């Protein structure tokens, strides 16, 4: 059983997939950090010093709190059910960036895969007008029927 597992695990496809999953996970973390730490803070600042990760929609009116001032932290402390709309927006932006980067990578790979279409080779033979056999382009007499070939100017 161990031998079968070893053969399975050491196949090229399995190793390639494992490497892809690990790199994909690390890439996802980098994109999440870029969205949360670089992209969203300036957008939040432009929208009135808003922190998107704290943006929530309460599902019930909290007692003693102003409805519009509820943050994720205050809702968690007060045990209020909320829709985490800010986290959803961050995740949508994460997805859009990852999808765009994957599109660019696949586009690049497809460009590299495309082989230039070879131009058609120049003909090296012509047909004898008398016996219809193939002869060299520069031939003035057919080697098969010995007819004299008139060259066209």
Domain boundaries, the chain: 2-113, 121-153
Q: Supply the CATH classification number for the domain 2-113.
A: 1.10.1200.120
Q: Give the pLDDT confidence score for residue 101 in this predicted structure.
A: 83
Query: How far is the C-alpha of 53 from the C-alpha of 65, rounded, in Å?
Result: 20
Q: What is the mean predicted confidence (pLDDT) over 58-84?
A: 81
Tokens of 109: 């790979």
Q: Give the pLDDT confidence score for residue 152 in this predicted structure.
A: 62
**Number of neighbouring beta carbons within 10 Å of residue 70:** 20
Indicate if the pLDDT at residue 28 is higher than 80.
yes
8 Å CB contact between 100 and 94 = no
8 Å CB contact between 52 and 89 = yes
60 vs 20, 36, 66, 89, 125, CA distance in Å? Answer: 43, 27, 12, 21, 88
8 Å CB contact between 84 and 56 = yes
Residue 127 three-state SS: strand
Q: Give the pLDDT confidence score for residue 19 in this predicted structure.
A: 82
Q: Give the pLDDT confidence score for residue 43 in this predicted structure.
A: 82
Indicate if the pLDDT at residue 16 is higher than 70.
yes
Q: Give the pLDDT confidence score for residue 64 in this predicted structure.
A: 75
Tokens of 10: 């050491």
Q: What is the pLDDT of residues 101-152, one digit of tens each?
A: 888 888 988 888 877 777 888 888 889 988 999 988 888 889 888 888 877 6
8 Å CB contact between 44 and 50 = yes
Q: What is the pLDDT of residues 31-64, one digit of tens each?
A: 888 888 888 888 888 877 677 778 888 888 777 7
Give 12's pLDDT tier (boundaries 50, 70, 90). Answer: low
Query: How far is the C-alpha of 48 from the C-alpha of 40, rounded, in Å?
Result: 12
By C-alpha distance, which of 51, 28, 23, 27 is closest to 39?
51
Q: What is the mean predicted confidence (pLDDT) over 22-34?
A: 87
């Amino acid at each position: 059983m161990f031998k079968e597992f070893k053969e399975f695990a050491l196949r090229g496809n399995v190793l390639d997939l494992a490497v892809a999953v690990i790199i994909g996970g690390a890439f996802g973390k980098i994109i999440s950090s870029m969205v949360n730490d670089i992209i969203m803070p300036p957008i939040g600042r432009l929208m009135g010093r808003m922190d998107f990760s704290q943006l929530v929609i309460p599902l019930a009116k909290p007692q003693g709190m102003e409805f519009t001032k509820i943050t994720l932290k205050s809702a968690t402390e007060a045990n209020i059910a909320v829709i985490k709309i800010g986290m959803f927006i961050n995740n949508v932006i994460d997805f859009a960036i990852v999808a765009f980067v994957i599109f660019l990578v696949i586009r690049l790979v497809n460009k590299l895969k495309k082989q230039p279409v070879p131009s058609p080779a120049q003909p090296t033979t012509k047909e004898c007008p008398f016996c219809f056999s193939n002869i060299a382009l520069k031939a003035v007499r057919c080697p098969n029927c010995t007819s004299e070939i008139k060259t066209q100017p």
